[in-house]
Amino acid sequence: MTGDVAVDRVAAPDVERTAATAREIFQRSLGGEPAGLWAAPGRVNLIGEHVDYAGGTSLPLALPHRTVVAARPREDGRVRVISAWAPEEPWEGALADVRPAGQDGAVAGWPAYPVGVLWALAQREGRLGEVTGLDLAVASDVPVGAGLSSSAALTCSTALAVAELAGVPSSAPGAGADEDALRVELVAACVRAENEGAGSPTGGMDQQASLRARAGHLLLLDAADGTVEHVPLALEEHGLVLLVVDTRANHALVDGQYAARRAACDRAAALLGTPHLARAARGSSVLDVLDRLRAAGAEAEVLRRARHVLTEEERTRALVALLRAGRPGDVGPLLDASHASLREDHEVSSPELDVVTDAARAAGALGARMTGGGFGGSALALVREGDVDAVAEAVTRAAVHAGHPRPQLVAVVAAAGASRVG
Ligand code: GLA
């Protein structure tokens, strides 16, 4: 297959086409003009995986790919949503009748996400709760089911639209303390929309990245207190490329496996008497914490899950230290170790993810790991510019040889968080 493996290079967001599609669907299906258009990105997480729900540290970046919503407020309490990917599946109803997932009145399918945002915001006091009716048309170039947070891109673009339609200004992420406070509030509403509105468990990392990331930076996110730092990601000047490999093996969070990982981590935290498992080894060591867990009666499975969280926290800190020391080319072994831990201890990898990460390493990638929730979805590989084609070809060949779907390859840069685009 020499020469026929294409690596898409997305150097900067190209929202214009997606925005035009959203506007067009709006005009055609909902009638008239939207009051504005807002875009929010998907994310890829460099390291710090499956730790956000255990109070740990993650290091995502916002992708150039984004979801655009064209929106217009309504005065009558009704909501109409339509999307480019399922135009035959619009949703319309009264916001007052919407109920959380699992109850009569719950919204099914993709509309549960944007409607869930309105529902979550409507529970709040103040201006954010004032928009109770909305017309919304959605278009997106964030791959769906790829573990790149298409759902966060959808909830976050909707939340920003609602905030601005309510008269709360939405300048760039990180523009100042007020702006950040608004985005923190929107993150909470989006997490609630996904957890309660759509019944999809999520730990919050994706929404933080989508709303708060800065271009050219990783978002160093401490899930224990919600604080963030922006860490520069200088790959190009070191001749490095971050390759995202979408295995196209479907990834879904709603099947109980993700919730089971959370439950095991909650149990470990309870046995230790701490709210944040990921922080438990600060001031002692991973081995000490595991000994304490064993003494408290933790089952073998709970011990393995805890070991993943505790060691991942150490790897994340080590990786950030390398980046801050100007050594991004040295982080590869930490990425590899993260993958091994997710595969062996947390058991969230999949044959598709293992095959492509092994192949990437064998073809010269400096490091490779699954990224996001796992069980399919995407992997990432850190690759020297000159090795990109060889790695892409090896990854594709290995996946096809194993009888897996042909992966989709994208070289990405760290883009900015959500913003108004029209
Ligand atoms: C999913 C969740 C996130 C996070 C990752 C794993 O993407 O939505 O909150 O837990 O899995 O790191």
**Residue with CA closest to ligand 1 atom 9:** 203
> Can you tell me the mean pLDDT for 4-27?
88
- Identify the pLDDT of residue 145: 85
For residue 201, give the ligand 1 atom closest to its CA.
8
Span 364-374, pLDDT tens digits: 999 999 999 99
Span 326-384, pLDDT tens digits: 999 999 999 999 999 999 999 999 999 999 999 999 999 999 999 999 999 999 999 99
For residue 202, give the ligand 1 atom closest to its CA.
8
| Residue indicated by tokens 């982080």 | 331
- What is the band of 3 on the pLDDT scale with cuts at 50, 70, 90? low
Structure tokens at 196: 């309660």
- What is the band of 317 on the pLDDT scale with cuts at 50, 70, 90? very high
For residue 204, give the ligand 1 atom closest to its CA.
9
- Identify the pLDDT of residue 128: 83
Distance CA 318, CA 311 (A): 11
The single residue of 206, 246, 345, 387 carrying the catalytic annotation is 206
pLDDT of 225 higher than 90: yes
Distance CA 307, CA 1 (A): 41
Distances 279 to 50, 53, 149, 345 between C-alpha atoms, Å: 14, 12, 26, 18
- Identify the pLDDT of residue 5: 82
Is 14 assigned a catalytic role? no
How far is the centre of ligand 1, averaged over its atoms, from the C-alpha of 296 (Å)? 28
- Identify the pLDDT of residue 109: 92
DSSP H stretches of helix in 8-77: 15-25
Distance CA 232, CA 227 (A): 17
Span 37-50, pLDDT tens digits: 999 999 999 999 99
How far is the centre of ligand 1, averaged over its atoms, from the C-alpha of 149 (Å)? 9
- Identify the pLDDT of residue 151: 96
Select from 40, 66, 326 the least CA-distant residue to 159. 40
pTM comes to: 0.95
- What is the band of 176 on the pLDDT scale with cuts at 50, 70, 90? low
Least confident of 158-172, 179-193, 281-295: 158-172
- Identify the pLDDT of residue 175: 61
Distance CA 259, CA 361 (A): 31
pLDDT of 253 higher than 70: no
pLDDT of 254 higher than 70: no
Q: Tell me which residues have their CB closer than 6 angstroms to ligand 1.
A: 45, 49-50, 52-53, 202-206, 372-373
Residue type, 105: G
- Identify the pLDDT of residue 14: 80
Burial string for 64-76 (b: 16+ CB within 10 Å, else e) reads bbbbbbbbbbeee
Distance CA 213, CA 209 (A): 5
Over its C-alpha atoms, the chain yields an Rg (Å, rounded) of 21
